[in-house]
Amino acid sequence: MTNRIRVLRAEHDWSQAEVADKLGIARQTVVALEAGKYAPSLPLAFKISKLFGKPVEEIFDAESST
């Protein structure tokens, strides 16, 4: 699974630590998410969707494999 978190974060000019604090997760989790190493749970995916104001399917792409 790939995602556009890094791009969206850059658009908002947020650091990984800022995104981590906004989502209530660790910075290492943001790093793993951006690297596509970790697929978030559905609740976290929706929190990420709400944070960036975009639907889940515009952020995550389940088609591509990691």
Partner 1 sequence: MKSTNPTAVANRSYIAEMAVCMVAYVAVLVPAIWLLNRGLEGPLRVAVAIAPVVPIVFVFVAVLRYFGRTDEFERRMLLESLGIAGVITALLAATYGFLENAGLPHLSAWYTWAAFMGSWLIGRIIVARFYR
How many chain residues interact with partner 1 (CB under 8 A)?
15
- By CB under 8 A, residue 1 contacts partner 1: no
Q: CA-CA distance, 38 to 66, in Å (whole number)?
A: 9
Q: Is 25 in the site for partner 1 (CB under 8 A)?
A: yes
C-alpha 34 chain-centroid distance? 6
Tokens of 48: 């990420």
Does 28 interact with partner 1 (rule: CB under 8 A)? Answer: yes
Should residue 44 be labelled a site residue for partner 1 when binding is judged by CB under 8 A? Answer: yes
Stretch that binds partner 1, among 1-9, 40-48, 50-58 (CB under 8 A): 40-48
Catalogue the E-assigned strands of the chain: 2-3, 60-61
